[in-house]
Structure 1
Amino acid sequence: MTHQLLHRLVQGIQSGEIIPYLGPGSLSDVVHKETNEPIPATSDGLILAMNGGKPMAPKLMWEFPRAAMNLELKKGRKFISRFLTETYNHDNWTQSRLHKLLADLHPPLVIDVNRDTQLQDLYAETPHTLIVGVARIAGTDYRYRIFQYDSGEYREVSNEDVDASLPILFKPMGTPRPSADYIASDADYVDYITELMGGFAIPGYVKEHRLDRHYLTIGLRLTRDTERMVFTDMIYGAGSPAGWALIESPTVKERRFCESKQVEIVEASLTELMQALESAGAAVQPTGG
Structure 2
Amino acid sequence: MNEAVFEQIKAGLAAGEVVPFIGAEALADVTHATKGIKIPATSDELILSLNNGQPMAPRLMYEFPRAAMNVELKRGRSAVNRWLEQTYGDNGWSEAALHRWLAEQKLPYIVDINRDTGLQKLYAGRPHTLIVGVARIAGTAYRYKLYKYDGEKYSAAVDESAIDPAAPILFKPCGTPWPEGNWIASDADFVDYITELMGGFAIPGFLKTRRVGLKYLVAGMRLNRDTQRMLLSDIIFSAAQPSGWALIPGANDKEKRFCARLGLTVIDADLRDLAGLPLAQAA
Q: Name the amino acid aligned to 1:64.
A: F
Percent identity, aligned pairs only, is 51
What secondary structure, in the 3-state scheme, does the structure 1 residue paired with 2:120 have? helix
Aligned pairs for 1:68-87 (under 5 A) are 68-87=68-87
Q: Name the amino acid aligned to 1:206.
A: L
Counterpart check, 1:93 vs 2:76 = no
Q: Which runs of 5+ in 2 are unaligned?
A: 278-283
Deviations 1:247-277, CA, capped at 9 Å, x for gaps: 011011001111111110011123311218x
Other-structure match for 2:164: 163
Aligned pairs for 1:268-287 (under 5 A) are 268-275=269-276
Other-structure match for 1:14: 14
Counterpart check, 1:121 vs 2:121 = yes
Aligned pairs for 1:202-213 (under 5 A) are 202-213=203-214
Deviations 1:182-224, CA, capped at 9 Å, x for gaps: 0000000000000000000000111111101000011011000
Other-structure match for 2:180: 179
- What is the Cα deviation at residue 7 of structure 1? 2.2
Counterpart check, 1:217 vs 2:214 = no
Other-structure match for 2:281: none
- What is the Cα deviation at residue 141 of structure 1? 1.6
Deviations 1:91-146, CA, capped at 9 Å, x for gaps: 21111001101101111000000000001000111111000000000111210000
Q: Name the amino acid aligned to 1:142.
A: Y
Deviations 1:28-78, CA, capped at 9 Å, x for gaps: 111112232111000000000000000000000000000000000111111
**Distance in 1 separating the partners of 2:72 and 2:213:** 39
Q: Name the amino acid aligned to 1:224.
A: R
Q: Which runs of 5+ in 1 are unaligned?
A: 277-289
TM-score of the pair, normalised by structure 2: 0.95
Other-structure match for 1:198: 199
What secondary structure, in the 3-state scheme, does the structure 2 residue paired with 1:259 have? helix
Deviations 1:165-196, CA, capped at 9 Å, x for gaps: 21000000000011100000000000000000
Q: Name the amino acid aligned to 1:156.
A: A
- What is the Cα deviation at residue 161 of structure 1? 2.1
Q: Name the amino acid aligned to 2:237.
A: Y
What secondary structure, in the 3-state scheme, does the structure 2 residue paired with 1:265 have? strand
Other-structure match for 2:135: 135
- What is the Cα deviation at residue 151 of structure 1? 4.1
**Distance in 2 separating the partners of 1:262 and 1:201:** 23
C-alpha contact (below 8 Å) 2:220/2:270 kept by paired residues: no
What secondary structure, in the 3-state scheme, does the structure 1 residue paired with 2:160 have? coil
Other-structure match for 1:107: 107
Other-structure match for 1:54: 54
**Distance in 1 separating the partners of 2:243 and 2:202:** 20
What secondary structure, in the 3-state scheme, does the structure 2 residue paired with 1:160 have? helix
C-alpha contact (below 8 Å) 2:219/2:270 kept by paired residues: no
C-alpha contact (below 8 Å) 2:18/2:215 kept by paired residues: yes
What secondary structure, in the 3-state scheme, does the structure 2 residue paired with 1:94 have? coil
Other-structure match for 2:36: 36
**Distance in 1 separating the partners of 2:7 and 2:276:** 9
